[in-house]
Chains A and B, each alone.
Chain A
Amino acid sequence: MEYGLDLEYSFNEFLKGFGLSSEIAHIIWLPLPMLLVLVAAVVGVLVTVWLERKISAAAQQRIGPEYAGALGVLQPIADGLKLLVKEDIIPAKADGILFTAGPILVLVPVILSWLIVPFGQNLLISNVGIGIFLWIALSSIQPIGLLMSGYASNNKYSLLGGLRAAAQSISYEIPLALSVLAIVLMTNSLSTVDIVNQQSGAGILSWNIWRQPVGFIVFWICALAECERLPFDLPEAEEELVAGYQTEYAGMKFALFYLGSYINLILSALLVSILYLGGWGFPIPVELIAKFLNLPINAPFIQVFTASIGIVMTVLKAYLLVFIAILLRWTTPRVRIDQLLDLGWKFLLPISLANLLITAGLKLAFPQFFGG
């Protein structure tokens, strides 16, 4: 079912109209979606920071930011500007090279993972065949950056924070990958576009959340743990470790950690909505509505309309999950490190393994419902 806008094709045709060769047109096209997604990610972070401030204020019966713009919407921009103009400090006894490389290694894999996030049939940077596996592989690089900055800070709290971050990340990656594997088993493909298309049959009824309820919960818990959000923010537990691996960081290097953690949160929310909540799909299939209103599905006007609905739905679902994550952060206490590792290894891992086994069995028994 190849439908939807193909912006790349139209853009290339447009440039060829000016007498450019197709290779030059391709090179001019290449950075555009990347820039667009980067801007989208940063704007998403600003929105999330504002939401975090406002929702935490509401949870604690405060007002929250109010003076910077209407309802304080400019507060995150003020935060960002403040971090930009702050002095860049490297502690005297720290290891300069590793200290600088650490935050970069944390941020780059997270941004690279946006490569596979689809906002519509053709609205993603690259529909690579290994799709969701690329995200799992990239997110496994992050602990190296955390260990690096923890070590380079030459501070025992930083080192402990870095070690905790690595231990947490390694333990929760396995149940995360196993619950993704159950989805892949049902889809017969690793590509995120195929995963969404497989859920698009009957609108809200065919979303994976009904077929993979256990996988959904396991994935969400693990995604929160990978983002180091409370209740799992042990690497930066302020009562025990000052600020974990970020203790010695200031200015833009701290901002990179900050940006990385929020981009990671939005990315996780987007991936949950893609894997379990039907991605860009509307709760009622758009094709059905178009048929009901007697509109041709391939008309340009309808195409633009469905594409916009797709983007709105993806972002809406993601922000619903971000809202839940923020509520969780401001209403739950932190787990202890032994409870965290117990939960990961002794509870989530067996449950996700059983989930994978049951999914495989159900796929053999009911191939029409669980992917043939």
Chain B
Amino acid sequence: MSIAITTQLICFTVLSLVVIIGALGVVLLESIVYSAFLLGGVFMSVAGLYLLLNASFVAAAQVLVYVGAVNVLIIFAIMLVNKKEDLKPINDIKSRRVISTSICLTLLSLLIRVDLTNVWSLSSPQNSIGEESTIRIGEHLFSDYLLPFEVASVLLLMAMIGAIVLARRDVMSKDISTGLPVDQELIEKSSEPLLTNKN
């Protein structure tokens, strides 16, 4: 076995272990801050897996978008609202856990079935383009994938406008057609408060 293959194998083992253990930690840990930081670790390891697959541009984009933007924003939001309050105990927590575990296990078995039935080997391994991939991705984005690319940008714009409308209630204080003041409450179903009262 050559040195390159051994290195690749060691890297793959370590990265997969970090992804699996980290992802379990994200779901199972009680502290939400630890979960958020572990999520960053999982994203980084996935970027490492992309690097092993010779997809360096995708790996860098993964780090930039998921770690640098998504994860930082998640941690940012957690820290802005991080009050040390206890969550209200839920009565039927055991049955809920059983249901969610069984759903997750079903999904996992589905994924394993896909893994086992699909033919993963490429027709010609000489096709790997390596460093050329940046150029190829650009070409595809501006030719045959132009429409999905633009639609995604419209989707992001809609999400941004929605966030601004939700955050800046004072901008749209009146109904456009009737001129009456609009109900400023959040539109959501009435539910029990999640936090226990402090006193």
> Is B69's CB under 8 angstroms from A140's CB?
yes
Question: Roughly how many angstroms separate A159 CA and B68 CA in the complex, as a whole number?
Answer: 19
Is the C-beta of A316 less than 8 angstroms from some C-beta in chain B?
A: no
Question: Roughly how many angstroms separate A128 CA and B69 CA in the complex, as a whole number?
Answer: 23
- Interface set, chain A 179-237, CB cutoff 8 A to B: 190
Most chain B CB within a 10 A radius of its CB, from A27, A128, A141: A141
A-B contacts counted at CB < 8 A amount to 73
Question: Roughly how many angstroms separate A129 CA and B129 CA in the complex, as a whole number?
Answer: 12
Secondary structure of the A side of the interface?
helix
Secondary structure of the B side of the interface?
helix
Q: For B56, list chain A residues within 8 Å (CB).
A: 128-130, 134
Determine which of B60, B71, B76, B79 lies in contact with A130 in the assembled complex, contact meaning CB atoms within 8 Å: B60
- Name the CB-closest residue of A to B33: A151
Is the C-beta of B80 less than 8 angstroms from some C-beta in chain A?
A: yes
Question: Roughly how many angstroms separate A27 CA and B68 CA in the complex, as a whole number?
Answer: 32
Is the C-beta of B19 less than 8 angstroms from some C-beta in chain A?
A: no
> Is A170's CB under 8 angstroms from B57's CB?
no
> Is A137's CB under 8 angstroms from B60's CB?
yes
Question: Roughly how many angstroms separate A134 CA and B73 CA in the complex, as a whole number?
Answer: 21
Is the C-beta of B12 less than 8 angstroms from some C-beta in chain A?
A: no
Is the C-beta of A173 less than 8 angstroms from some C-beta in chain B?
A: yes
Determine which of A129, A151, A162 lies in contact with B131 in the assembled complex, contact meaning CB atoms within 8 Å: A129
Is the C-beta of A136 less than 8 angstroms from some C-beta in chain B?
A: yes
- Name the CB-closest residue of B to A133: B60
Is the C-beta of B28 less than 8 angstroms from some C-beta in chain A?
A: no
Smallest CB–CB gap between A74 and chain B, Å?
39
> Is B79's CB under 8 angstroms from A147's CB?
yes
Q: For A137, list chain B residues within 8 Å (CB).
A: 60-61, 63-64, 68
| 23 A–B contacts from the bound complex (CB under 8 Å) | A23-B2, A23-B3, A27-B3, A129-B56, A129-B57, A129-B134, A130-B56, A134-B60, A136-B60, A137-B63, A140-B69, A141-B44, A144-B37, A147-B76, A151-B33, A162-B79, A163-B76, A166-B72, A166-B75, A166-B76, A170-B69, A170-B73, A190-B134
7 A-B pairs with least C-beta separation = A140-B68, A129-B131, A137-B60, A137-B64, A137-B63, A130-B56, A147-B75
Q: A interface vs B, CB < 8 Å?
A: 23, 27, 98, 128-130, 133-134, 136-138, 140-141, 143-144, 147-148, 150-151, 159, 162-163, 166-167, 170, 173, 190
If A140-B67, A144-B40, A151-B33 are given as contacts, then 11 extra A-B residue pairs at C-beta distance below 8 Å, sorted by A number, are: A23-B2, A137-B61, A138-B63, A140-B72, A143-B68, A144-B72, A147-B75, A147-B79, A159-B79, A163-B79, A170-B72
Q: B interface vs A, CB < 8 Å?
A: 2-3, 33, 37, 40, 44, 56-57, 60-61, 63-64, 67-69, 71-73, 75-76, 79-80, 82, 130-132, 134
